[in-house]
Amino acid sequence: MKIGLPVGLFDRVVNQLSLVDHLPDPVLRWGGSVLATLNILPRDQASAIKALWAPRVREASIVFVKMLAKWLIAARNAPREGKKVILMPFNFPPELIHAFDNAVPITSEILSTLGVAALRGQGERYWDMVMGLGFPDHLCSANAIELGSMLGSDDFRPQALISSAPGGCDVNSKIHEFVSNYLEIPQFFLQKPPDDSERGLQQYNIYMRTLISQLEKFIGEELTEEKLRRVIEKANRCVELSLELWDLHKAVPCPVPNIFSLLLYATRFAMWGTDEGIKCLETMVALSKKRLAEKAYPAEKEVARCIWCYTSYYFDFLNFFNWMEERGYSHLADGLDFFFPQTIDTSSMESMIEGLALSAWNMPMTRPMGAESMSRSWTEFVIYAAKDLGADCVIYCGHHSCKQTWSVVSILRNELMEREGLPLLILQGDSWMKRMTPMSVIQQEIDEFIKNVVARKSRGRRKPRKRRPIRSEPVKAD
Ligand code: SF4
């Protein structure tokens, strides 16, 4: 450790999770439950532990936390084992990096979320570090918290970085680019072309192939067909399980616990294509099926079925996921669950690379936000998910840095109401920091929306307006 520099987010999180990794499941089950009841932890940490160790989700949480521990410990140990750690944003498929024997992926946004959920003081000190360097405060806390830690503290450093945000999100691209320059580590790109046709996808395939050969050179290892197939077969199992979980959400009341929305995409963005990822998804599916069979639901009845059209809130798990569920407000999915998984044909190297490129193309942020028309694409995703899962309302968290979603959310609201009669609640806040809007205010707004809009709608007072074609395309001049 360098004297004078604060400890980084990665090191603090990995220290905590190393302990978890050593504990047998029964001890972890008992220890977490005791911690959740004793009220001795700082509030920030207590919220995550109480939410994850609630008896109805505990079994899945233990597998999930152990999976993340394994992931982070592999990254921490990688340099001394001669492996390279590759940092990437959440919209890049980690299974590609898992396919290399000598590389380990870490994901900026998962690290930020872990810091916010597990550390005393959450991610605020690291956000302040990046602000202290003179960055504007419209950076996205999702990635700036972890990257702030790398820039301003004695934190763990990756050996290279993949930026897959160009074309999808400017602030995400720019902060990753800055880190690459500042830390003097190479950056590899996977850019979404501004063309949603087959031609655009073909171009994206070429970019994916170029990226793979750049990675092979950098890592010093050939990505053989056998290595890729080994991981893609496991990724395909993850796809099947995630689709099963998606279908389970359709039952009324929803048998899938609210917090599984987060657990699902954290698995997608970190451990897809690994044995630990499969085990985590299997446990989530089994618990949800059990709840379905027992007709168990944490509230007296399901009052509302909500889709969150982009991110949720991550600074107070207990008073967000668990609070909603205990009031009968099912959180069916949020925008990060819209990664539209498909199994990949493993018959050849070509088919697997094409399948990987399509997985990356379908990632949240890449496909809807990097589309030719963001409003049209986002609207189509939300309507598809809302109809398929039987949602009766949609909520936008209003994540403050996300200027691009803010710029089209009023179009989304109009389209949802006019085409499907679905009301959209627009909130204000920062998904990763409590400084912007306290959870009590968010709860109050959700409560009022559900009581005054959603409940009335389901009593038949509000009807869908006449359907008309989408208006998000620019009007062409004569
Ligand atoms: S939440 Fe918005 S600003 Fe943040 S990375 Fe995603 S698209 Fe970019």
Q: What is the pLDDT of residues 378-404, one digit of tens each?
A: 999 999 999 999 999 999 999 988 988
Nearest to 360 by CA among 201, 245, 223: 201
Q: Which atom of ligand 1 is nearest to the CA of 90?
A: 5
Instruction: Average the pLDDT over 436-453 and give the result.
Output: 96
Nearest to 360 by CA among 26, 67, 97: 97
Return the structure tokens found at 419: 């085409």
Distance 352 CA to ligand 1 centre (A): 28
pLDDT tens digit string along 64-79?
A: 999 999 999 999 999 9
Q: Which atom of ligand 1 is nearest to the CA of 170?
A: 8
The model carries a pTM of 0.93
Choosing from 378, 399, 407 the residue with most ligand 1 atoms within 8 A of its CB, the one to mutate for a pocket test is 399
Q: Give pLDDT, residue 30.
A: 79
Instruction: Average the pLDDT over 229-253 and give the result.
Output: 98
Instruction: Reply yes or no on whether the pLDDT at 475 is more than 70.
Output: no
3-state helix, strand, coil in the chain (%, to 5): 55, 10, 35
319 DSSP 8-state letter: I
Cβ(331)–Cβ(312) under 8 Å? yes
Nearest to 366 by CA among 194, 174, 146, 145: 194
Distance 399 CA to ligand 1 centre (A): 8
Distance 140 CA to ligand 1 centre (A): 6
Ligand 1 in reach of 172 Cβ (< 6 A) = yes
**pLDDT band at 6, cuts 50/70/90?**
confident
Distance 311 CA to ligand 1 centre (A): 9
Instruction: Reply yes or no on whether the pLDDT at 472 is more than 50.
Output: no
Q: Where are the beta strands (DSSP E) in 360-440?
A: 393-396, 424-426
Ligand 1 in reach of 103 Cβ (< 6 A) = no
Q: At 106, is the secondary structure helix, strand, or coil?
A: strand
Between strands 187-189 and 304-308, the pairing is unpaired
- Residue 474 CA to residue 472 CA, distance in Å, equals 6
257 DSSP 8-state letter: -
Query: Cis ω on the peptide bond leading into residue 6 (within 30° of 0)?
Result: no
Ligand 1 in reach of 175 Cβ (< 6 A) = no
**Cβ-Cβ contacts under 8 Å for 442 (sequence gap 6 or more):** 313, 320, 427, 429
**Nearest residue by C-alpha to atom 5 in ligand 1:** 172
- Return phi, psi of residue 70, to 5°: -60, -40
Ligand 1 in reach of 399 Cβ (< 6 A) = yes
Return the structure tokens found at 153: 């503290």
Q: Where are the beta strands (DSSP E) in 345-415?
A: 393-396
Return mean pLDDT, the chain: 91
Ligand 1 in reach of 369 Cβ (< 6 A) = yes
